[in-house]
Amino acid sequence: MLNHKPLHRFRMAGFAEGLSLLILVLIAMPLKYIAGIPEVVSVVGALHGFFFIAYALIALYTTYKVRWSFQWLASAFVVAFIPFGNFWLDHRIKQSFY
């Protein structure tokens, strides 16, 4: 029987990390370079960094608890650098584990 609690935590962390990346890239960066408001990037960038570190730690924990293959762990780290990547991985997790 697969324990879904670690997967749920991972999915929520992925959502937070993915959303913070989108806010950073699509809102904060244009505000910095177009509107001349660099403070937005400082705040959103720090939040995104926190979410990324939490996501990475939760990915490692989930790999241990669910006994994920290295391929799942590697894809979890790769998609964290691609806008909308975490949402694609979330869809794959729902297909594979639920």
pLDDT in tens, 33-61: 999 999 999 999 999 999 999 999 999 99
Q: Is the pLDDT of residue 3 over 90?
A: no
Q: pTM to 2 decimals?
A: 0.90
Nearest residue to 60 via CA among 1, 2, 13: 13
Give the pLDDT of residue 1: 46
What is the radius of gyration, based on Cα positions, of the chain?
15
Q: How far out from the chain centre does Cα 93 lie? A: 13
Assign 96 a pLDDT band (cuts: 50, 70, 90).
confident
**Digit-coded pLDDT (tens) for 58-84:** 999 999 998 988 998 999 999 999 999
